[in-house]
């Protein structure tokens, strides 16, 4: 499975089949072109899905690769099994916040990729977990993402939980689906938020012109995405804020904050980069100022409600200090 395709399931709700609905803007495209763009895979890979019958209209009708899709067409795409692992165990130090026979909670540093992807075959969190945990990781997500329940972006730091057996994996995945697993982030955004608290309720989907990016789309398109935010403190030209995820879509906080005119500081993808402050203090930036600070879940075996926290990275703390004094 391609890394872009796996992003579609970043909220932990991966199934063996993904369903797609053709919008009016996409109508008239060739089926292989549509699937290639929608899934973030090569055109030849999309053609193979169609030829093999792994991608067809949801009613079971096959579709030739050069057929034109129509608005309202629904596709069912059977996700192929993961390829052999490109991840090998690596002795990479981990900041382990908690570990037992069921789960491991890690404070991921900024710059670490969660699982192997093109250009990032080594140095991943998965490689570090394979070295530390050996065979005691859940196999539900296959060999490419053993034990991984949810993800955070490469340049976002903070808490991530992995399952060490399939029973724990199922329990934690259900908690993601019913929103009882609670994730709280801290972030610095550009500008002053207009309210002390608020909610961004805007569906997300792949950006039509850049498939590596996400974008807010019209209601009824894309996937539901809800972010709650509150002001921690107001700084000259910036806001230090807390975000709580009700859903967990790819790049959700970053896209949502950019959509209301307050992109995350240091986020060059969604408009938060190249500020005068960043240019003045380049050594403090290696990504966006976004940190997964708190994770709350129910332990899969004991049923105990558990809350984990991770302090802000040193560079994040230094940025806050400088912003409050400049």
Give the integer Cα–Cα distance in Å for 130 and 265: 33
CATH architecture observed for domain 96-176: 2-Layer Sandwich (3.30)
Annotation marks residue 52 as catalytic = no
User: Does residue 11 have a pLDDT over 80?
Assistant: no
Map residue 21 onto helix, strand or coil. strand
Output the six-digit token pair for 287.
């990504």
The domain defined by 17-77 folds into 3.10.290
Q: What is the DSSP letter of 68?
A: B
182-325: CATH topology: Pseudouridine synthase (3.30.2350)
Task: Please say if the pLDDT value at position 323 is more than 60.
Answer: yes
Q: For the whole model, what pTM was predicted?
A: 0.75
Separation CA 106–CA 245 (nearest Å): 19
CA torsion sign for 176, 152, 277, 257 is negative
Q: What is the mean pLDDT of the chain?
A: 87
Q: Which two tokens stand for residue 128?
A: 């570090």
pLDDT for position 82 = 46
Long-range pairs of 213-216 with CB within 8 A, sequence gap ≥ 24: 213/251, 213/269, 213/270, 214/249, 214/250, 214/251, 214/252, 214/255, 215/255, 216/255, 216/256, 216/259
Residue with tokens 């899969």: 300
- Give the active site residue among 32, 153, 155, 267: 153
* Residue-wise pLDDT tens digits, 229-278: 999 999 999 999 999 999 989 999 999 999 999 999 999 999 999 899 99
Closest by alpha carbon to 272, among 206, 205, 221, 319? 319
CB contact at 8 A, 211 and 299: no
The token pair at 182 is 């609670």
- Cα–Cα dist 177/56, whole Å: 27
What is the structure's pLDDT at 120? 74
Separation of alpha carbons 10 and 206, rounded Å? 13
Query: How far is residue 151 CA from its own chain's centroid?
Result: 5
Please give the helix or strand (H or E) that residue 318 lies within, else none: helix 314-325
Angstrom distance (rounded) from CA 308 to CA 196: 25
Confidence of residue 300 (pLDDT cuts 50, 70, 90): very high
Do the bridges between strand 290-298 and strand 157-163 make them parallel or antiparallel, or are there none, so unpaired? Answer: parallel
The ranges assigned to domains in the chain are 17-77, 96-176, 182-325
Domain 17-77 and domain 96-176, same fold? Reply is no
Q: What is the pLDDT of residues 158-179, one digit of tens each?
A: 999 999 999 999 999 999 989 9
pLDDT at residue 86 is higher than 80: no
The pLDDT score that the predictor gives to residue 322 is 97
pLDDT of 206 over the 60 cut: yes
Is residue 6 over pLDDT 50?
no
Q: How far apart are CA 104 and CA 102, in angstroms?
A: 7
């Amino acid at each position: 499975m391609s890394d872009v395709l796996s992003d579609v399931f970043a909220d932990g709700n991966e199934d063996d089949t993904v369903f797609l609905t053709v919008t009016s803007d996409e109508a008239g495209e060739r089926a292989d072109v549509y699937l290639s763009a929608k899934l973030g895979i090569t055109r030849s890979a999309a053609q193979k899905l169609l030829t093999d019958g792994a991608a067809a209209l949801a009613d079971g009708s096959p579709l030739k690769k050069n057929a034109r899709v129509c608005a309202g067409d629904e596709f069912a795409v059977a996700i192929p099994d993961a390829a052999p692992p490109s991840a090998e165990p690596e002795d990479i130090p981990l900041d382990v916040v908690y570990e037992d026979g069921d789960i491991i909670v890690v404070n991921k540093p900024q710059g670490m990729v969660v699982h192997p992807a093109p250009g990032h075959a080594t140095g991943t969190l998965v490689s570090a977990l394979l070295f530390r945990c050996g065979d005691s990781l859940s196999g539900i997500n296959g060999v490419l993402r053993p034990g991984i329940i949810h993800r955070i972006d490469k340049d976002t730091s903070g808490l991530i939980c992995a399952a060490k057996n399939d029973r724990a994996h199922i329990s934690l995945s259900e908690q993601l689906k019913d929103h009882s697993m609670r994730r709280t982030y801290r972030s610095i955004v550009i500008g002053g938020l207009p309210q002390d608290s608020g909610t961004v309720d805007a569906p997300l989907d792949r950006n039509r012109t850049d498939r590596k990016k996400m974008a807010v789309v019209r209601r009824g398109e894309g996937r539901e995405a809800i972010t709650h935010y509150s002001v921690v403190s107001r700084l000259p030209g910036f806001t230090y804020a807390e975000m709580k995820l009700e859903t967990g879509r790819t790049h959700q906080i970053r896209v949502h904050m950019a959509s209301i005119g307050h992109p995350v500081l240091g986020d060059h993808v969604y408009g938060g980069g190249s500020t005068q402050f960043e240019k003045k203090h380049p050594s403090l930036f290696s990504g966006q100022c976004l940190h997964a600070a708190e994770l709350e879940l129910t332990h899969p075996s004991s049923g105990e409600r558990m809350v984990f926290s991770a302090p802000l990275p040193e560079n994040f703390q230094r940025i806050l200090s400088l912003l409050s004094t400049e």
